[in-house]
């Protein structure tokens, strides 16, 4: 009987203790479980390395200055009213515009987080053609009827090797300046004609065609904006360049008879043969182009 009473008391004590524990547990504040979202990954762009690509755009050329002279008095052998040589003339036409396209190869080094230095070479095909015409003149003859003085410049391609330096914005935008050495493959042409039997062009009639192909060397400067796309390693850029070729090219050509009855070089009063002297002035070319590059990191 005593054991039964003791067992009952023990069981009651355990029940009471369990009840008190449950009550105390209910009074303890429970912290909510919070899921922390990991920070979003930020794309890190590198500008160091080689890149290659192409570009398309438009170029325009300021009209060069042309000069003509008749040192041997060729006018006396072709121009009816002329009693002296053709006047020296300086001509300048209007500017010329043409599309262009090319390729480039470069290397950049990212200096610290936000600065860049590099070098780039490019080759651009184009066909910027400019021409000007005027009648020949002589002493007392403001325009020799039927005569023509013509000049033409045709730029076939441009090339350059340039340094560039810029500032990197938001890791994938670059604003830069660039400059270096440039070349232009250029065809020059000129002619002074007074055809036999046309207007004031009677006597023998003359023509003095001249042509010159040369590669001029000059300087180029400019700047641009470049974007390294999220689909790295592709880059897109917008670039402006101005080329300056200050050299003057000159040459001469013999006046030949425009009369088939008396072919060959025309004899002159002052010199044994008549020649036309031509000069082609400096060239200034500007371009705007959009480029696409692939970068090798």
The stretch 103-114 carries a mean pLDDT of 95
Full-model pTM: 0.82
> What is the pLDDT, as a whole number, of residue 260?
65
Q: Identify whether 116 is part of a domain.
A: yes
| Radius of gyration (C-alpha) of the chain in whole angstroms | 41
Which has the higher per-residue pLDDT, 18 or 62?
Answer: 62
CA 242 to chain centre: 7
Q: Identify whether 23 is part of a domain.
A: no
| Statement: residue 160 has pLDDT above 60 | yes
The stretch 58-67 carries a mean pLDDT of 95
Task: Determine the 3-state secondary structure of 13 from DSSP.
Answer: helix
| Statement: residue 10 has pLDDT above 80 | no
Q: Where residue 40 falls among pLDDT bands split at 50, 70, 90? A: very low
CA 204 to chain centre: 47
> What is the pLDDT, as a whole number, of residue 105?
98
Q: 60 forms bridges with which residues in the sheet?
A: 97, 286
Q: Kindly state the helix (H) or strand (E) to which residue 23 belongs, with its residue range.
A: helix 2-27
> What is the pLDDT, as a whole number, of residue 14?
36
Neighbour-count burial of 200, counting CB atoms closer than 10 A to its CB (0-12 exposed, 13-18 middle, 19+ buried): buried
Q: Identify whether 254 is part of a domain.
A: yes
**Beta pairing, strands 148-169 & 173-194:** antiparallel
The stretch 206-213 carries a mean pLDDT of 96
**Helices in 43-199 by DSSP H: which ranges?**
none
CA atoms within a 13 Å half-sphere pointing along the CA-CB vector of 273:
14
Question: For the stretch 254-285, what's the b/e string if a residue is b when 16 or more beta carbons lie within 10 angstroms of its beta carbon?
Answer: bbbbbbeeeeeebbbeeeeebbbbbbbbebbb
> What is the pLDDT, as a whole number, of residue 37?
43
At residue 3, φ and ψ (nearest 5 deg) are -65, -40
Tally: H helices and E strands in the chain = 1, 14
The stretch 114-135 carries a mean pLDDT of 97
| Statement: residue 48 has pLDDT above 50 | yes
Q: Where residue 31 falls among pLDDT bands split at 50, 70, 90? A: very low
Neighbour-count burial of 296, counting CB atoms closer than 10 A to its CB (0-12 exposed, 13-18 middle, 19+ buried): exposed
Q: Where residue 2 falls among pLDDT bands split at 50, 70, 90? A: very low
Q: Identify whether 107 is part of a domain.
A: yes
> What is the pLDDT, as a whole number, of residue 297?
80
Q: Identify whether 39 is part of a domain.
A: no
Which has the higher per-residue pLDDT, 263 or 127?
Answer: 127
> What is the pLDDT, as a whole number, of residue 34?
45
> What is the pLDDT, as a whole number, of residue 221?
98
Domains in the chain: how many in total?
1
Comparing 5-9, 18-22, 245-249, 279-283, the range with the smallest average pLDDT is 5-9
Long-range residue pairs from 237-240, CB within 8 A, at least 24 positions apart, any chain: 237/174, 237/290, 237/291, 237/293, 238/288, 238/289, 238/290, 238/291, 239/55, 239/178, 239/287, 239/288, 239/289, 239/290, 239/291, 240/286, 240/287, 240/288
Give whichever of 74-88, 120-134, 191-205 has the largest mean pLDDT.
120-134
> What is the pLDDT, as a whole number, of residue 43?
60
| Statement: residue 222 has pLDDT above 60 | yes
Contact assessment for residue 146 and residue 198, using Cβ atoms and an 8 Å cutoff: yes
Measured between alpha carbons, how far is 54 from 56 in angstroms, rounded to an integer? 7
Count other C-beta atoms under 10 Å from residue 19's C-beta.
10
Q: Identify whether 98 is part of a domain.
A: yes
Task: Determine the 3-state secondary structure of 212 from DSSP.
Answer: strand
From the list 286, 283, 285, 287, the residue with the least C-alpha distance to 92 is: 283
Give percent of the chain above pLDDT 70.
Answer: 84
Q: Identify whether 7 is part of a domain.
A: no
Q: Residue 201's domain is classified under what CATH number?
A: 2.40.160.20
From the list 291, 284, 154, 292, the residue with the least C-alpha distance to 221 is: 284
Q: Identify whether 127 is part of a domain.
A: yes
CA 129 to chain centre: 16
Domain assignment of residue 86, given as a range:
50-296
The stretch 59-88 carries a mean pLDDT of 93
Q: How does the average pLDDT of the chain come out, rounded?
A: 86
């Amino acid at each position: 009987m005593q054991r039964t009473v003791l067992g009952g008391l023990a069981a009651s004590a355990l029940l009471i203790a369990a009840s008190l524990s449950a009550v105390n547990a209910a009074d303890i504040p429970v912290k909510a479980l919070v899921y922390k979202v990991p920070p979003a990954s930020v794309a890190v762009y590198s500008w160091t390395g080689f890149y290659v690509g192409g570009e398309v755009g438009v170029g325009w050329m300021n009209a060069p200055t042309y000069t003509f002279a008749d040192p041997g008095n060729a006018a006396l052998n072709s121009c009816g009213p002329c009693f002296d040589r053709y006047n020296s003339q300086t001509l300048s036409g209007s500017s010329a515009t043409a599309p262009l396209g090319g390729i480039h190869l470069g290397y950049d080094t990212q200096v610290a987080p936000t600065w860049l230095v590099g070098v780039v070479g490019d080759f651009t095909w184009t066909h910027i053609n400019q021409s000007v015409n005027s009648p020949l003149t002589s002493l007392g003859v403001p325009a020799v009827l039927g005569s023509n003085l013509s000049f033409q410049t045709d730029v076939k391609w441009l090339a350059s090797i340039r340094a560039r330096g810029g500032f990197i914005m938001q890791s994938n935008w670059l604003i830069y300046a660039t400059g270096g050495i440039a070349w232009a493959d250029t065809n020059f042409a000129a002619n002074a004609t007074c055809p036999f039997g046309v207007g004031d062009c009677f006597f023998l009639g003359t023509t003095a065609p001249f042509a010159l192909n040369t590669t001029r060397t000059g300087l180029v400067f400019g700047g641009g904006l470049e974007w390294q796309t999220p689909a790295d390693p592709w880059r897109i850029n917008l670039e402006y360049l101005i080329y300056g070729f200050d050299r003057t090219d000159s040459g001469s050509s013999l006046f030949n008879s425009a009369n088939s009855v008396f072919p060959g070089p025309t004899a002159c009063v002052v010199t044994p043969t008549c020649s036309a002297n031509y000069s082609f002035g400096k060239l200034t070319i500007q371009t705007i182009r959009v480029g696409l590059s692939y970068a090798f990191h």
